[in-house]
C-alpha cells in the first residue's frame, strides 16, 4: 500500500531519514534565498554554512534564480522600513497624547494636579534618544543596493548549480498546461490565480514552471529531491482543520510517476533543524526559532488571504444560486403578467384563477431572496 500511495507516507525510521539525506538532491525556493536578507547575521551564517556542506547535491531551478533576482531589491528595501515605521509610530502617539491633554485642560481638573507640558517634554526627550538609536541601527545595516555582499556569496556558492531556462515554445506549452491544472485545483500554483494576491500572467504560472523544472532534473538524476520553501499555501501543503499535515500527496505521486523518485518538502526552519542534526553542527536553536518566526509571519498573511478566498468562493456560489432563482421568479412573474394582459386585450370572460394568483403572492419569492441576500452579506461582511 505504501508503494501505491507514497504521498500519504513519511519516513518512519532513522535509517530511512539518514538514507534520504545522504543521497537526495536539495533545492531551494526563491523565498528561502531571499531570507538571507531577512535573517539576522547568526541565522544567515548558519544557512550559508549548511549550503556549503551540501553544495555537491544542491541544484536551483532557473525559475527560482530568476524570481530571486527579480524580488531582491524589493526585499532589501523592506528591511529599512522598520526604522521609518517606528519613528512614525512614536510621532503619531505623541500627537495623540498632545490632543488628549489639550482636551483635559479645557474641561477637567486633571491639569490642576499634573503639569501637561512636563509630560510632553519628557516624552519628546525620550523620543529623541530613540531616534538616535534608530539612526545608529540604520547606519550599521549595509547598503546592499550598491554592494550586495550576500548575493555575491550566494552567486559564488551556486556557480554551475542553476538550471537552464525553458525556450519560449516550452514556456507557452507549460502556461497552457498550468491553466488546465488551475481549473482542476491541481497543485502547485493555483493559489497564485486567486485571492487579493492574484498574480498577472505569466507570473502566476511561476510555481508550475518551478515544478516542471524540478521534475525534469530529478528525472535526469534519478535521485529523490528535497525542496525547501516557506510558501505555506495549500497548493503545496496538505492542510486539515487548520493544521499542516505535510506535502500535498498529489505532488509526490506526480514526481514518482514522471521522474521515478520520491519528493520531500521542508520549510526553512525544519531544513535548518534537520540539516544541523544530519551534519552534526553545533546547536543553534535560536537560528531555528528565528527562521520559524520569519515563516510564520508570512504564513499568517497567506492564511488570511486563503480564508478570504474561501469565503469569497462560498458567497459567490450562493449568490449565483440566488441569481438563478431570481431569474426564474422574474420569468414566472412575466409569464403571469403576460397571460393577464392577453386576457384583457381580447376581453375574454376568463382570468387567471384566484387560487393560482394567491399561491404566487403567498410564496413571496422576492422577499425570500432578499432575506437570503441579507444573510449572506451579514456573514461575509
Helix residue ranges per DSSP H, the chain: 14-23, 30-34, 41-54, 62-78, 81-107, 110-113, 116-140, 149-157, 168-183, 206-221, 249-259, 268-278, 285-345, 354-363, 365-380
Give the distance between the most distant pair of CA atoms in the chain.
99
With bands split at pLDDT 50, 70 and 90, how would you rate the model's confidence at 58?
very high
> What would the mean pLDDT of 218-227 be, rounded to a whole number?
97
Average per-residue pLDDT for the chain: 83
Residue 134: the pLDDT is 84
User: Cell digits for 219?
Assistant: 528525472
Cα distance between residue 365 and residue 374, in whole Å: 14
Question: Which of these ranges, 211-220, 282-291, 365-374, has the smallest mean pLDDT?
Answer: 365-374
Query: What's the pTM value of the predicted model, to 2 decimals?
Result: 0.72
With bands split at pLDDT 50, 70 and 90, how would you rate the model's confidence at 315?
very low
Non-local (6+) Cβ contacts of 246 within 8 A are: 10, 237, 238, 265
Q: What is the DSSP string of 214-261?
A: HHHHHHHHTS-EEEE-----TTTEEEETTEEEEE-HHHHHHHHHHHSS
With bands split at pLDDT 50, 70 and 90, how would you rate the model's confidence at 250?
very high
Closest by Cα among 133, 158, 142, 162 to 37 = 142
With bands split at pLDDT 50, 70 and 90, how would you rate the model's confidence at 11?
confident
Q: What are phi and psi of 12, to 5 degrees?
A: -110, -10
Lookup result for grid cell 498632545: 98
Question: Which of these ranges, 17-26, 27-36, 114-123, 200-209, has the smallest mean pLDDT?
Answer: 114-123
Residue 78: the pLDDT is 87
Cβ atoms within 10 Å, residue 25? 18
Cα distance between residue 374 and residue 149, in whole Å: 57
CB 130 within 8 A of CB 90: yes
CB 251 within 8 A of CB 265: yes
Cα distance between residue 376 and residue 102, in whole Å: 45
What is the DSSP-derived secondary structure letter of residue 381? -
Cα distance between residue 111 and residue 74, in whole Å: 48
Q: What are phi and psi of 80, to 5 degrees?
A: -95, -10
Cα distance between residue 113 and residue 64, in whole Å: 64
Name the architecture of domain 6-80+142-307: 3-Layer(aba) Sandwich (3.40)
Question: Which of these ranges, 30-34, 48-52, 117-121, 316-320, has the smallest mean pLDDT?
Answer: 316-320
Top-confidence residue, 361 or 290: 290
Residue 348: the pLDDT is 46
Lookup result for grid cell 489639550: 102
Residue 22 reports pLDDT greater than 80: yes
Residue 255: the pLDDT is 97
Amino acid at each position: 500500500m505504501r508503494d501505491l500511495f507514497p504521498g500519504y507516507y513519511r519516513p518512519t525510521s532513522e535509517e530511512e531519514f539518514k538514507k534520504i539525506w545522504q543521497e537526495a538532491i536539495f533545492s531551494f525556493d526563491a523565498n528561502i534565498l531571499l531570507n538571507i536578507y531577512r535573517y539576522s547575521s547568526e541565522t544567515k551564517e548558519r544557512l550559508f554554512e549548511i549550503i556549503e556542506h551540501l553544495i555537491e547535491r544542491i541544484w536551483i531551478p532557473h525559475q527560482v534564480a530568476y524570481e530571486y533576482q527579480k524580488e531582491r531589491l524589493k526585499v532589501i528595501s523592506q528591511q529599512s522600513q522598520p526604522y521609518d515605521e517606528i519613528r512614525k509610530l512614536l510621532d503619531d502617539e505623541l500627537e495623540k497624547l498632545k490632543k488628549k491633554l489639550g482636551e483635559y485642560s479645557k474641561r477637567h481638573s486633571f491639569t490642576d494636579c499634573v503639569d501637561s507640558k512636563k509630560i510632553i517634554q519628557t516624552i519628546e526627550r525620550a523620543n529623541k534618544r530613540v531616534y538616535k538609536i534608530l539612526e545608529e541601527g540604520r547606519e550599521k545595516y549595509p547598503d546592499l543596493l550598491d554592494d550586495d555582499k550576500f548575493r555575491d556569496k550566494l552567486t559564488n556558492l551556486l556557480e554551475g548549480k542553476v538550471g537552464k531556462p525553458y525556450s519560449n515554445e516550452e514556456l507557452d506549452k507549460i502556461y497552457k498546461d498550468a491553466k488546465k491544472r488551475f481549473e482542476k485545483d491541481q497543485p502547485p500554483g493555483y493559489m497564485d490565480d486567486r485571492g487579493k494576491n492574484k498574480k498577472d500572467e505569466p507570473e502566476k504560472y511561476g510555481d508550475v514552471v518551478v515544478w516542471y523544472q524540478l521534475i525534469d532534473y530529478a528525472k535526469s538524476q534519478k535521485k529523490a529531491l528535497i525542496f525547501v520553501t516557506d510558501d505555506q499555501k495549500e497548493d503545496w501543503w496538505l492542510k486539515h482543520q487548520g493544521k499542516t499535515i505535510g506535502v500535498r500527496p498529489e505532488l509526490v505521486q506526480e514526481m514518482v510517476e514522471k521522474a521515478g523518485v520520491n519528493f520531500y518538502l521542508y520549510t526553512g526552519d525544519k531544513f535548518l533543524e534537520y540539516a544541523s542534526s544530519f551534519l552534526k553542527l553545533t546547536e543553534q536553536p535560536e537560528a531555528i526559532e528565528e527562521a520559524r518566526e520569519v515563516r510564520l509571519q508570512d504564513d499568517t498573511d497567506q492564511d488570511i488571504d486563503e480564508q478570504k478566498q474561501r469565503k469569497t468562493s462560498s458567497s459567490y456560489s450562493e449568490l449565483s444560486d440566488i441569481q438563478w432563482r431570481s431569474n426564474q421568479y422574474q420569468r414566472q412573474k412575466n409569464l403571469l403578467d403576460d397571460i393577464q394582459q392577453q386576457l384583457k386585450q381580447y376581453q375574454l370572460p376568463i382570468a387567471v384563477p384566484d387560487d393560482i394568483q394567491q399561491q404566487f403572492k403567498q410564496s413571496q419569492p422576492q422577499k425570500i431572496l432578499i432575506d437570503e441576500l441579507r444573510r449572506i452579506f451579514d456573514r461575509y461582511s
